[in-house]
Amino acid sequence: MNRYFRKIINIRKVKRFLLPFFIAFGWFMLTAFPILAILLFDRKFNFNSTSGNLLTLWTSLFGIILLVIRYKGDPYYLPFAKKRMLHRYAKGFLFGLLLFAINWLFIFGLQGFHVRLAFSFSGIPILGLFLVGFIFQSMFEELVCRGYIMGYWLKRQKLLTACLANTIFFTLMNGFNSEFSVSAFLGIFLFGMLLSEIRLITGNIWFCGAFHAAWNFAESRLFGVTVPGLSDSGMILKSTNTGLSPFITGGTFGVEASWLTIGLYLALSFWVLSLLQKQKGKLYGTTIAGF
């Protein structure tokens, strides 16, 4: 029976496929060490508070440093283009902000949100800390998913596996909450696939990290949309669901589960894919022209 099983499934290939998933999960676990250290001193520390949210975001810097030390000099795992870094990042950030704002406006226009102003000058320093925190957190996730996992398979010339493997891992890591649903799965999966395509066409991770950071920052802190695991978040606006169908608003999971957002991700993915067709044969390196 065991021999028959081995003939059907190549155990060595299965282990090789799962290895980058386990290593990637280990990188995420390493960022939990500072949090565990705090819990040793204060078991009642509230990670859903503002300070708790900031701490969780900023500990991602620890993970970024470790990744850079471990894979220094490897453009597949650390696809940092050295030229025009700020330009690439700024472009990605502005694109992310614009895209989220358009998506939010569609939902608001369909009366999916009650909106109220929440801005306070005294909150600007905290808003700045959240901005930097989301930059760290998003770049860490991108380095693990679109950096390490994707780079692992790109090194082996497995383009489709590179895109699917990192996107599946990214989706699962963002799905550990009670509000996860089929639409949430689709939304996060398409978001990850879009970022994978962007890494391919740009040849670096600056645009991906910036786009990811801008989306998260806009969703939680600028527009104040419900985000599982974060405290009452809006610092410019607060957007609360009106009770309109989750099909439009995404419900309690957030706008990623909205079918409007899913449609937006899908349209963008097809658009970037069409651009990739023109770059055929230049997808594995880090020299593809700016996006």
> Is there a domain that residue 253 lies in?
yes
Would 109 be classed as within a structural domain?
A: yes
82 three-state secondary structure:
coil
CB 136 within 8 A of CB 61: yes
Q: Is residue 13 part of a domain?
A: yes
Q: pLDDT (tens digit, 9 = 90+) per residue, 85-111?
A: 999 999 999 999 999 999 999 999 999
With respect to residue 290, please indicate whether it lies within any of the assigned structural domains: no
On whether residue 288 sits in a domain, the answer given is: no
Tokens for 286, please give them: 């880090």
Domain residues for the domain of 232 are 2-278
**Three-class SS of residue 112?**
coil
Say how many domains are in the chain.
Answer: 1
**Residue-wise pLDDT tens for the chain (291 aa)?**
555 555 556 677 788 889 999 999 999 999 888 888 888 887 788 777 888 889 999 999 999 999 999 999 999 999 998 888 999 999 999 999 999 999 999 999 999 999 999 999 999 999 999 999 999 999 999 999 999 999 999 999 999 999 999 999 999 998 877 678 899 999 999 999 999 999 999 989 999 999 999 999 999 999 999 776 555 578 999 998 898 888 999 988 889 999 999 999 999 999 999 988 877 655 544 333 333
Indicate the pTM of the whole model: 0.90
Judge whether 238 lies within some domain: yes
> What are the tens digits of pLDDT across the range 201-245?
998 999 999 999 999 999 999 999 977 655 557 899 999 889 888
Element holding 141 (H helix, E strand): helix 124-142
Q: Which residues pair with 6 in a beta bridge?
A: none
Let me know if residue 248 belongs to a domain: yes
